[in-house]
Structure 1
Amino acid sequence: MKSPKTAYSIGKNRQPSSYRRSLLSLLMQRLRSGLRFSTGYAFCSFSVILCLLSFAFLFSCSQPSPVREQLSRAEQVMETDSRAAALVLDSIDSSTLRGEEAALYAILRTQTDYKNYKPLTSDSLARIATDYYGTPLHKNYHAAMAWYTLGCVYSEKNDDINAINAYLQAIGLFPETTNLYFALAKQNLGIHYLNRQMLDDALNTFSSCKNQLIEAGDKKRLAYIDYYIALAFLYKEEFEKAKELFSDVWNNDNTSNFLKGEALLQLAKISLYDDKNYPETLNLVHRHIAFTDSTFMGVDNNMLGDIYFETAKYDSAYWFYRQSLLYENEINTLCCNYKKLSETASLVGQTDSIASYVSSYTILLDSISEIRRTEEIASIQSKYLLETEQRRQSLHKRWSLVVFSFSIVLVSLLLFLWFIQRDRKRKSDYISLCDEVRQSKLKKYENIKETLDSCCSVFRMTAAFDMMTNIQTKQDFHVDKKVSNLIAHDINTCFASLRTSLKQEAPAINEKEFFYITCDYLGFDTNTTSFFLCSAYSTLTSMKSRLKKKMTPELYSLFFPKK
């Protein structure tokens, strides 16, 4: 339970709950009003602006965590100062890390330990990184570094099989082939091939690595690669090529003293086993002893034993072979020692030791055969190639699906735009046509109006117009058949052109209705027109309603303008 002080500190400066609820309801109401859109619109402009502002707010507020900043700083300084990187990593509580941060910490911690020459006894830390990143379909730098780091651990443990698998995975995941670690992964892979006597694979890998180092201008690492290429040629018994490269390494100013000593030792081997130049070999061995520390005394004593064995000085040879056993030797030198001891023992009267030497030699030879296990490595290579091809095919399928989907969307969008454009053009053409028709009708109605006015002017000069005027001014004027026929004749004569035009626009209009139209337009009232047409007043009133149905609104308003 929280203390009262804690509870107060957490809850202070807060508004009452009712106030917060009112604010929340107001906010939700505004959101709903903003996100509401009417039919026919895909999105409301307010909702779009609100979403954009929300995303901008989220991204602007997101800051990298302090741990991530420390990891980035350690990653930056690791290449130039691995001890400083280790100090940065020491300040991080690794027990709180999860996900990507834990994976990156595992990579950096293992790499700094490796660069600071701390023994890597377990792969558990590096496995955190490889378990997190796995083998993604897309190339990823940190995923590649995770597998490279795991390979470094197995290299330290002399586990060629797992190291080869890790380096193969790393090489396939580096996004850039110009990266230093890409070249280092190839270099280490070649060394493990060399350990397993897979000489062709080693040479191919070293050659590829050398080309990249030449492009990068890294002369120090070039000398290192030249040494291992020469070593591969030596194992293939191509002594001339090996001798030339070892000499280049020895004479290279960028070569470290350690590597110079190694090159000198290999030149001594070529002089002994290929040239059979024992004085030269003896000179090179003594130079090597003087140049290096006691680390390689086992190999030096073994070679001195071989020199004295070849010159039939068996007691000296036996003594140097025995001396070689006092130093730490790699398994091939040790196996060779026991073989030579078993051969020399009978020559110096040490027959009791022969069985022991032969037994040790046999055990070591079996161990060497077991270590090489080239079939298992070939299986790893095949598995790697298969996984790489499967990833490539999977990636190709995904890209194909993306391209196909994009093409479908693009084609659909183009069709949609084409239909919209076509519909717009159709509507535009329709509107233009309607405008033309309307303009044509207006022009026609203007012509009818001109014709009507012209006919009216002519009719006003006739006797029929005077008769109609008298009928309107003198309601007792007698209209007989003769007067009616005269008026009708003059109207037909004066309004003949108008009647022709009106017949085209409103063919349903009869003669009596035509007379009613002309009389009304001339200004005669309904009573006067009824006298002339000899029709009842109500008949003419209903006639006007019928004309409204027979004529277009424009034509009707032309003859019966609003007063």
Structure 2
Amino acid sequence: MMCEKIICLFVACLFYSIYICKTKRTMKLLLSYIIGLFLILSLSACHDGGNATTLLRQADSLMQEFPDSALSLLESISHPEKLSGSERADYAIFLTRARTKLYVHESSDSLIRFAVDYYKRSWNNERKMQAYYYRGCVYRDMRCMDLAVKDFLQALKVIPKESEYLYLGAIYENLAGCYAEQNLYKDAMHAHHKAHEIYIKQKKDDGLFYAVRGIGYVFMLQHQLDSALVYYQKALDVAENIGEDYYKSIILSELGILHNEKGEFQKANQYLSASISSAPTGTNLFSEYLRKGCILRNIHQMDSARYYLNLSKSSPYIFNRGGSYGELYKLEKEEKNYPAAIAAADSFIYYLDSIYDTTKAAEITRLADQYEIEFYQQKIAGRYKIEVLSLLLLFIIGGAISLWIDKRRKKKYLELQNQLMKSRTDILSGDFEDQGNAESDFMRMLEPSLELCLQLFRRTETHEKLLSLEKKMGVATSLSIHEGQMICESIYETFGDIMLKLKIQYADLTKEDLLHCVFFLLGCSKETILLCTRASEGAFKSRKSRMKIKLGEEFFEWMTIRQYLVS
């Protein structure tokens, strides 16, 4: 955009220099300075745009394998709001994609919304799909599940074939997560199964792990614990095949939760212990510590339970801390350690208030975001209605103009028809015979009728066909028998009035002679006449000679020099 402004400035300076300069030498000198300044400004201004473009390309190439590096590159772009339309939209997609891959939760859709608005009417289906998909991810982070579902479904509609490997399974997995949050378990299960089929075909074990685990999780939400256990075991097998501790630790933890739900506390404890021991270094395990502390309390291993609950209360998350103090209160109360129980209860109440305030603030923020999104969607819907109404109005105006033009054409056509009918009536009533038979008078009388017939003829397809044949003369041209007959019939129909007058004036003329008269009046070439009538060249010459005798040299010459077809 800056480059465009500089070009406009350069053009303005150029015209101004031409206006103020009085000598060629002064103009040359001033133009040299202006061009030099233009080059310097162009290089400096366009450098930033080129640098941003390069950074965007580098970030895109690094995104799949090194999202953290891609995020650093994107965050190094200064003033992204000054990027051009497509670059700004790509920047929004890439930045949201990097944050999504790094599990950085978004709290606003303002960034990715620009990309959706830019690409929703574009032919670039890959970018359009990415814009909808990542806005869906943002809405899921914002807990706006219904909006997220709409965007994921829209992404499914426009996803191109070449993007399916990376995105198709992920879209279905995100859809399943949204449905599960809305308690739409049947839809969630269907989406997980679709993702499962896709990942099996693609042979992507990491995606398959999440799909199988997701099916098990939906079964557990419905308290179908045996079915959930089957799929969690399958997910554990997939994690073993992947060979990464991260996946193994996740599913072992969820198996512990499942056995805890079934009341099998010993098994639950074993799975949670295995999850903690197999977790990669640096993994946040505060939730696992809390669960393990609860299970150990249930199996009356109080000292071990206290140890893990104390580890859990160091969590940076108030929900974990509050839960830990609540469990410690129960434990100390059961152990009759009342001072410790009271202290734990005080802390639990404190964190309970904090949780309430945090939840309330989060709900207010969510409602504010929901209102902002709905307001924006209403604005877009209003703009869409205006566009539709504008298009409808244009169609109505266009239709009205077309009807008016057609009405005028029909009116003109009817006027011509009426004039021809009047002329024909005059002939039949004897007015024509009263005018005398001198050839000069006949030619003058024929001109108006001929003009009327020509106006009608120029509105027919036959006129266009004859013009086309005349233009192709000298080139090998063919015309079917049917086409030739149609041309002749059209001439008989349109020039009937002229033929009637000719027949009255020259009674010896045959029907074919009258047809040839019209061909001559139109100025058709010999080749065109032969193509239409299917006559031989010899027969044509003979007819022409006979017609010259029947019509007389003066009228025949007048008729054959007409060029009404091309005039």
Q: TM-score, normalised by structure 2?
A: 0.51
Corresponding residue to 2:194 among 208, 211, 219: 211
Q: Are residues 1:288 and 2:288 paired?
A: no
The aligned residue for residue 530 of structure 2 is: none
CA gap of 1:384–1:240, structure 2 versus 1, over 3 A, is farther
User: Matches of 1:169 and 1:128 in 2, distance apart?
Assistant: 15
User: Matches of 2:193 and 2:62 in 1, distance apart?
Assistant: 24
Corresponding residue to 1:234 among 220, 240, 243: 220
Q: Any idea what the Cα deviations from partners look like across 1:529-550, whole Å, max 9, x if unmatched? A: xxxxxxxxxxxxxxxxxxxxxx
Corresponding residue to 1:357 among 333, 344, 347: 344
The aligned residue for residue 200 of structure 1 is: 183
Q: Are residues 1:306 and 2:329 paired?
A: no
User: Matches of 2:75 and 2:306 in 1, distance apart?
Assistant: 53
Unaligned regions of 5+ residues in structure 1, if any?
13-64, 447-552, 558-563
Corresponding residue to 2:253 among 249, 265, 268: 265
User: Matches of 2:29 and 2:266 in 1, distance apart?
Assistant: 88
Equivalent residue letter for 1:321: L
What secondary structure, in the 3-state scheme, does the structure 2 residue paired with 1:346 have? helix
Q: Are residues 1:243 and 2:307 paired?
A: no
Corresponding residue to 2:493 among 410, 424, 429: 429
CA gap of 1:444–1:344, structure 2 versus 1, over 3 A, is closer
Q: Are residues 1:9 and 2:32 paired?
A: yes
User: Matches of 1:138 and 1:131 in 2, distance apart?
Assistant: 13
The equivalences for 1:480-499 within 5 A come to none
State whether residues 132 and 151 of structure 2, in contact with CA within 8 Å, keep that contact through their aligned partners in structure 1.
yes
Equivalent residue letter for 2:327: K
Equivalent residue letter for 1:130: R
Q: CA deviation at 1:263?
A: 1.0
Equivalent residue letter for 1:340: E
The equivalences for 1:399-418 within 5 A come to 401=392, 408=399
User: Matches of 2:261 and 2:211 in 1, distance apart?
Assistant: 24
Q: Are residues 1:347 and 2:347 paired?
A: no
User: Matches of 2:361 and 2:193 in 1, distance apart?
Assistant: 27
State whether residues 265 and 284 of structure 1, in contact with CA within 8 Å, keep that contact through their aligned partners in structure 2.
yes
Identity %: 15
The aligned residue for residue 537 of structure 2 is: none
Equivalent residue letter for 1:103: A
State whether residues 286 and 311 of structure 2, in contact with CA within 8 Å, keep that contact through their aligned partners in structure 1.
yes
Equivalent residue letter for 2:498: C
Q: Are residues 1:224 and 2:210 paired?
A: yes
State whether residues 189 and 215 of structure 2, in contact with CA within 8 Å, keep that contact through their aligned partners in structure 1.
yes
Q: Are residues 1:279 and 2:266 paired?
A: yes
What secondary structure, in the 3-state scheme, does the structure 1 residue paired with 2:335 have? coil
User: Matches of 1:88 and 1:379 in 2, distance apart?
Assistant: 31
State whether residues 145 and 178 of structure 2, in contact with CA within 8 Å, keep that contact through their aligned partners in structure 1.
yes
Q: Are residues 1:321 and 2:321 paired?
A: no
Equivalent residue letter for 1:77: S
Equivalent residue letter for 1:341: L
What secondary structure, in the 3-state scheme, does the structure 1 residue paired with 2:506 have? helix
Q: CA deviation at 1:269?
A: 2.0
State whether residues 246 and 267 of structure 1, in contact with CA within 8 Å, keep that contact through their aligned partners in structure 2.
yes
State whether residues 265 and 295 of structure 2, in contact with CA within 8 Å, keep that contact through their aligned partners in structure 1.
yes
User: Matches of 2:188 and 2:398 in 1, distance apart?
Assistant: 41
Corresponding residue to 2:507 among 443, 451, 462: 443
Q: CA deviation at 1:320?
A: 3.2
CA gap of 1:181–1:410, structure 2 versus 1, over 3 A, is farther
State whether residues 129 and 156 of structure 2, in contact with CA within 8 Å, keep that contact through their aligned partners in structure 1.
yes
Q: CA deviation at 1:283?
A: 2.8
Q: TM-score, normalised by structure 1?
A: 0.51
CA gap of 1:8–1:144, structure 2 versus 1, over 3 A, is same
The aligned residue for residue 143 of structure 2 is: 161
User: Matches of 2:28 and 2:493 in 1, distance apart?
Assistant: 79
How many residues of Structure 1 are paired with residues of Structure 2 in the alignment? 389
Equivalent residue letter for 1:240: D
State whether residues 260 and 268 of structure 2, in contact with CA within 8 Å, keep that contact through their aligned partners in structure 1.
yes
Q: Any idea what the Cα deviations from partners look like across 1:141-199, whole Å, max 9, x if unmatched? A: 646644654565677xxx533687567446546652565546545544654676xxx35
State whether residues 152 and 171 of structure 2, in contact with CA within 8 Å, keep that contact through their aligned partners in structure 1.
yes
User: Matches of 1:169 and 1:357 in 2, distance apart?
Assistant: 45
Q: Any idea what the Cα deviations from partners look like across 1:405-457, whole Å, max 9, x if unmatched? A: 699599869999997349978875242442254245323599xxxxxxxxxxx
User: Matches of 1:445 and 1:285 in 2, distance apart?
Assistant: 113
Q: CA deviation at 1:347?
A: 2.3
Unaligned regions of 5+ residues in structure 2, if any?
1-12, 18-25, 36-48, 414-458, 464-488, 511-550, 556-567
Supply the RMSD in Å over aligned alpha carbons: 5.7
CA gap of 1:318–1:189, structure 2 versus 1, over 3 A, is same
User: Matches of 1:372 and 1:237 in 2, distance apart?
Assistant: 29
Higher normalized contact order (CA 8 Å, seq sep 6+, divided by chain length) = 1
Task: Give the greater-gyration-radius structure (CA).
Answer: 1
State whether residues 141 and 173 of structure 1, in contact with CA within 8 Å, keep that contact through their aligned partners in structure 2.
no
State whether residues 210 and 222 of structure 1, in contact with CA within 8 Å, keep that contact through their aligned partners in structure 2.
no
Equivalent residue letter for 1:260: K
What secondary structure, in the 3-state scheme, does the structure 1 residue paired with 2:158 have? coil
Q: CA deviation at 1:211?
A: 1.4
Q: Which piece of structure 1 moves more, 136-145 or 294-303?
A: 136-145
Q: Which piece of structure 1 moves more, 130-139 or 238-247?
A: 130-139
User: Matches of 1:432 and 1:243 in 2, distance apart?
Assistant: 93
Q: Which piece of structure 1 moves more, 279-288 or 131-140?
A: 131-140
Equivalent residue letter for 2:257: K
Equivalent residue letter for 1:322: N
User: Matches of 1:146 and 1:339 in 2, distance apart?
Assistant: 43
What secondary structure, in the 3-state scheme, does the structure 2 residue paired with 1:200 have? coil
The aligned residue for residue 545 of structure 2 is: none
User: Matches of 2:223 and 2:230 in 1, distance apart?
Assistant: 13
User: Matches of 2:308 and 2:59 in 1, distance apart?
Assistant: 49
Q: Which piece of structure 1 moves more, 250-259 or 400-409?
A: 400-409
CA gap of 1:182–1:135, structure 2 versus 1, over 3 A, is farther
The aligned residue for residue 483 of structure 1 is: none
State whether residues 248 and 275 of structure 2, in contact with CA within 8 Å, keep that contact through their aligned partners in structure 1.
no
User: Matches of 1:113 and 1:345 in 2, distance apart?
Assistant: 42
Q: CA deviation at 1:393?
A: 9.1
Q: CA deviation at 1:350?
A: 2.3
User: Matches of 2:91 and 2:194 in 1, distance apart?
Assistant: 32
Equivalent residue letter for 2:234: D
User: Matches of 2:373 and 2:107 in 1, distance apart?
Assistant: 27
Equivalent residue letter for 1:342: Y
The aligned residue for residue 525 of structure 2 is: none
State whether residues 338 and 360 of structure 1, in contact with CA within 8 Å, keep that contact through their aligned partners in structure 2.
yes
Q: CA deviation at 1:200?
A: 1.5
User: Matches of 1:233 and 1:387 in 2, distance apart?
Assistant: 38
State whether residues 136 and 151 of structure 2, in contact with CA within 8 Å, keep that contact through their aligned partners in structure 1.
no
Q: Any idea what the Cα deviations from partners look like across 1:356-379, whole Å, max 9, x if unmatched? A: 433444444646865896996997
User: Matches of 2:227 and 2:371 in 1, distance apart?
Assistant: 30
Q: CA deviation at 1:348?
A: 2.0
The aligned residue for residue 110 of structure 2 is: 127
User: Matches of 2:216 and 2:503 in 1, distance apart?
Assistant: 97
